[in-house]
Structure 1
Amino acid sequence: MLTSTVCAAVSAGGLGIALLTAYRKRFLAATRIAAFALIPIGLVMTGIIDWVTDLVFKPTVWAGFGVLALSALLFLVSRAAERRGAGGHDLPPAGGADPLTTGAPAIGAAAGRSAQRPKGRSEGRSQPKGRKGTGGEFDDIEAILKKHGI
């Protein structure tokens, strides 16, 4: 109710200023002022002002925004953790502590698969003549792949 009165007063004042501007033969400026002056009363007539005041002054709406913000924060944290390599480890293995943090061997199906895996190209054979002892980028890549069990 109060917001409707304030908007009507603002529109009336703006239209008064537009009339004074038109009286001074500045019709283009008067038209722009009148256009801006009609916005508040138009918002009241469409009901948008009531919706905005309900949005601003209801605590449940702010609580809803808080819940949405918490949801977004949890989503971002889970994505960041997944990118850092902690994804897929929701529960510690059956043996107790997490092998990623303790350095203990993994217990379960993943450890069994890696132990039974046949030797690949680089395992069990000597390195080709061109790469032996060079310490180049291939050695670094190979070390990273071995670290991850690939």
Structure 2
Amino acid sequence: MLAETICSAVSAAGLGIAAITAYRRRFLAAARMAAYALVPLGLVLTGAVQWLADTAFSPVAWVGFGALGAAWLLFSGTRAAERRRGGAQGSRKERRAAARAARRDEVAPGTSGPAASLPRASGKPRTKSGSAEDDFSDIEAILKKHGI
């Protein structure tokens, strides 16, 4: 009850100051002050002030906030320890890099993957006995095509 009275008084004082500011022909500032002054009144009317007052003075609520804080500390502490020692399964970046390497190994040169059947930039189809120079010539052709 006291919190609602205080918020209503703050709103009334803010609206009074906004009216004085508007009387001095500073309408933009007066409108901004009126907006700020209506916030506590809106909180009172929605019941948020009563809920907040009940929560702030409730020992059960503070125990709940303490439990949430302890959970957060445990989560962040275990995450920091996992990063520091590398984790049992490795970091997310390491797992992604391993997955990418596995995908590259699936379609390696000399295998019958989707890349083996595509024509090269020179117009010739790939052969199974392609050398490293052939692979780099494809890349060079693409870069030259784009002017790089």
TM bucket normalised to smaller: 0.5 to 0.7
**TM-score normalized by the length of structure 1:** 0.51
Over the matched positions of the two proteins, sequence identity in percent amounts to: 59
1:82 shift after superposition: 4.0
Give the match for residue 23 of structure 2: 23
CA distance in 2, matches of 1:87, 1:23: 70
**TM-score normalized by the length of structure 2:** 0.52
Change (3 A) 1:39 1:45: same
Higher-helix-fraction structure: 2
Whichever residue aligns with residue 62 of structure 1, its letter is W
Give the match for residue 99 of structure 1: none
Give the match for residue 48 of structure 2: 48
Aligned length: 88
CA distance in 2, matches of 1:36, 1:11: 8
1:27 shift after superposition: 1.4
Change (3 A) 1:35 1:78: closer
Structure 1 residue runs of 5 or longer lacking an equivalent are 89-150
Query: What RMSD over aligned residues (CA atoms) do the two structures have, in Å?
Result: 2.1
Change (3 A) 1:85 1:45: same
Contact 1:81 1:87 (8 Å CA) reproduced: no
Give the match for residue 67 of structure 1: 67
1:16 shift after superposition: 0.8
Any idea what the Cα deviations from partners look like across 1:13-72, whole Å, max 9, x if unmatched? 111111111111111111111111111111100111112112221111111111122222
Whichever residue aligns with residue 2 of structure 2, its letter is L
Change (3 A) 1:27 1:80: closer
1:87 shift after superposition: 5.3
